[in-house]
Amino acid sequence: MPLLLLTNDDGVHASGLQALADALRELGDVWVLAPEREQSACGHALTLHRPLRVAEVGERRFAVNGTPSDCVNLGVLGFLPERPVLVMAGVNHGANLGDDVTYSGTVSAAMEGTLLGVPSVAVSLADGGDFAAASRVARLVAMRALVAGLPKQTLLNVNVPAGTARGVRVTRLGHRVYSEKIVEQTDPRGRAHYWIGAGDPQWEDVEGTDMGAVHEGYVSVTPLHLDLTNHRALARLAEWQHGLSAQLRGAPRPRPRRP
């Protein structure tokens, strides 16, 4: 049986993780390596300045005092009895759509798996949805990934709507705008403190985006590539390199011409 590595950013005892493990058991040997506590919005953080500790909390189930990316590193690079053939992250409590993927520990775990050469999928569920239903979607996607593989340096970001899904759409990332990101408050001692991300997001339900699909009741499957280079901008910025190189070498700047 192939070995499947499961993780999340909601913690090793999260309901979504358990539902995912239950749904994938017939596809292979399921091993869980997940943070010992919630790590939501931790992004792609790695723990480099302290040791990681692993505690067994069940059969093939381990809690790590680190981030989701730490968990994937441990699992792929030698903690497990063999290298996993698939990394599944989720099911996340709440959707990971549009720009939010840059903050998500769930998506970052799938990114880490992809960096390490293992096909990886992140699965998230919109608020109010059913984890069992989302896990069935995850199982179907996992089966496709195991049979057909994934493109090089590409992970899948899957978002499942609340309620019964009308179908599946392959989408691109949308754009999510937050208002009133910083809220200032005062504690009982008169000292100021701040809350980040307290505003309500504004959705851009553009056709073809992950947000638009979920808003219309569809599962969105978004392929994310690890190459963040803006290739269209390369040609446009090529002219910069000559001017910047000249300035770096201390070449005199051309004087403006007088009319």
pLDDT tens-digit profile of 44-94? 888 899 999 999 999 999 999 999 999 999 999 999 999 999 999 999 999
Higher per-residue pLDDT: 259 or 167: 167
Each residue of 109-127: pLDDT tens digit?
999 999 999 999 999 999 9
Which position has the token pair 């896990």?
Answer: 135
Confidence band (pLDDT; 50, 70, 90) for 182? confident
Gap between the Cα atoms of 183 and 237, Å rounded:
38
Q: What is the mean pLDDT of residues 169-174?
A: 96
> Model pTM?
0.89
Q: Which tokens sit at 159?
A: 């978002």
Q: What is the mean pLDDT of residues 154-166?
A: 97
Confidence band (pLDDT; 50, 70, 90) for 201? low
Q: Which tokens sit at 74?
A: 């441990």
Contacts of 13 (CB under 8 A, 6+ apart): 57
Each residue of 220-234: pLDDT tens digit?
999 999 998 998 898
Higher per-residue pLDDT: 159 or 182: 159
* pLDDT score recorded for residue 181: 67
Confidence band (pLDDT; 50, 70, 90) for 194? confident
* pLDDT score recorded for residue 195: 82
| DSSP codes, 79-97 | ISSS--SEEEEEEEES---
* pLDDT score recorded for residue 198: 54
Confidence band (pLDDT; 50, 70, 90) for 135? very high
| 3-174+204-229: CATH architecture | 3-Layer(aba) Sandwich (3.40)
* pLDDT score recorded for residue 191: 94
Domain ranges of the chain: 3-174+204-229
Q: Are strands 192-196 and 176-178 parallel, antiparallel or unpaired?
A: unpaired
Higher per-residue pLDDT: 201 or 221: 221
pLDDT of 40 above 90: no
Gap between the Cα atoms of 153 and 58, Å rounded:
32
pLDDT of 42 above 90: no
Q: Considering the chain, what percentage of its residues have pLDDT values greater than 70? A: 92
